[in-house]
Amino acid sequence: MEASSITKDTVKPTAKEAHLSVRNLNVHILKNHILKNIDIEIPDKSITCIIGPSGCGKSTLLKTFNRLLDKTENVTITGKVLVDNENLYEKDAEVTHIRKKMGLLSQRPCPLPMSIYDNIAFGCKIHGTRNKKKLDEIVEYQLRAVGLWKEVKDRLHVPANKLSIGQQQRLCLARGLAVEPAFILADEATSALDPISSKHIEELFVELKKDYAIVMVTHTLRQALRIADYVVFMYLGEVIEAGPAEQVFKNPRRELTKKYLEGAFS
């Protein structure tokens, strides 16, 4: 790190303080009520894990945070998702701007069909950064941030899909960070990875929560136990219980949560 000529301050993204709260959110697809009266607060600078059995709507909830549900056919969304007290679902809300604030890490790593360098530069380019030197700096900074720089610095211009799956996922994280989001949304982001890579991502999350609010969907309870600061438990489209990890895991208030944690169903 010291050897680098880059001073951290010039390129370090200023992660913005942001607050995310969900008010009375309902999602219907055709006649199916997918999300029911969701009311939660996502705290800043911490890791929030959404847990629950598969099909409980946790991924859908995550998708409402950056309006990726918009394109789904026959979907109706009511209620509010507030970021800094601005409703994402306001009529004249700027979708691309919202999405820029929300970095997404999907289940399978999904590198864009271009070089490692261009994957990270892509987001900056579409938002108008053309300066080559600036881009070089951003690419290096973000690759260092996810611990990938040493592994790829000599082959920045090979296609990104030549990397291993674990490396790809870190690349995707770096790509998301490069557009300076305020949140990181991770949809079972480690489920396709080997144990070492997945540990790597977890460590990165713990590191990154200093600057970002991280929301992750997971169905491995142990992962939530390891890194969650705050837990949201969902069942059949409803939030059953939400609160600090310590409290939810040790003294669940609801019977259903207790049963789920005990492994009665999954």
Partner 1 sequence: MNKKFSNRIFKDKLASGVMLGLTTLSLLLVVGIGIGLYLKSQPILEQKTLWTLLSTTEWKPSNGEFGFLPFILGTLWITGLAIVMALSIALLTAIYLTEYSKSSVKRFVFPALDILAGLPSVVYGVWGTLFIVPWISETLAPHFVEYATGYSTLAGGIVLGVMILPLLISLFVEIFSVVPDDLRNATLSLGATPWQTIKLVVLRKSFSGILAAVVLAISRAFGETIAVLMVCGNLPVIPGSVFDSCYPIPALIANNYGEMLSVPLYDSALMLAAFFLFIVVLVFNAGSRIILHRIER
Nearer to partner 1, 113 or 195 (CB): 113
| Separation of alpha carbons 226 and 205, rounded Å | 11
Task: Report, in Å, the least distance between residue 151 CB and partner 1.
Answer: 21
**Site of interaction with partner 1 (CB under 8 A):** 66, 68, 73, 96-97, 99-100, 102-104, 106-108, 110, 112-114, 122-123, 126-127, 172, 175-176, 179, 185
Closer to partner 1 by Cβ: residue 2 or 73: 73
Q: How far is the CB of 99 from partner 1 (least distance, A)?
A: 5
How many angstroms separate the CA atoms of 130 and 153, rounded?
A: 21
Gap between the Cα atoms of 266 and 247, Å rounded = 20
Closer Cβ to partner 1, 33 or 99, answer by number: 99
Cβ neighbors of 143 (< 8 A, separation 6 or more) are: 120, 149, 152, 153, 171, 174
Helix axes 195-208, 165-177, angle to 10 degrees: 20
Residue 161 Cβ vs partner 1, minimum distance, rounded to whole Å: 11
In the complex, the smallest distance separating the C-beta of residue 123 from partner 1, rounded to whole angstroms, is 4
To partner 1, the closest distance from the beta carbon of 259 in angstroms equals 33
The least distance separating partner 1 from the CB of residue 73, rounded to whole angstroms, comes to 6
Contact in structure between 205 and 103 (CB atoms under 8 Å): no
Residue 146 or 172: which CB sits closer to partner 1? 172
Q: At 39, list the tokens.
A: 């009311």
User: CB count, 10 Å around CB of 261?
Assistant: 18
To partner 1, the closest distance from the beta carbon of 23 in angstroms equals 23
Between 213 and 239, CB nearer to partner 1: 213
The DSSP line for 112-168 is -SSBHHHHHHHHHHHTT---HHHHHHHHHHHHHHTT-HHHHGGGTTSBGGGS-HHHH
Residue (50 or 160) nearer to partner 1, CB: 160
What are the CA-CA distances from residue 134 to residues 103, 130, 141 (Å)?
21, 8, 10
> Closer to partner 1 at the Cβ: 187 or 241?
187
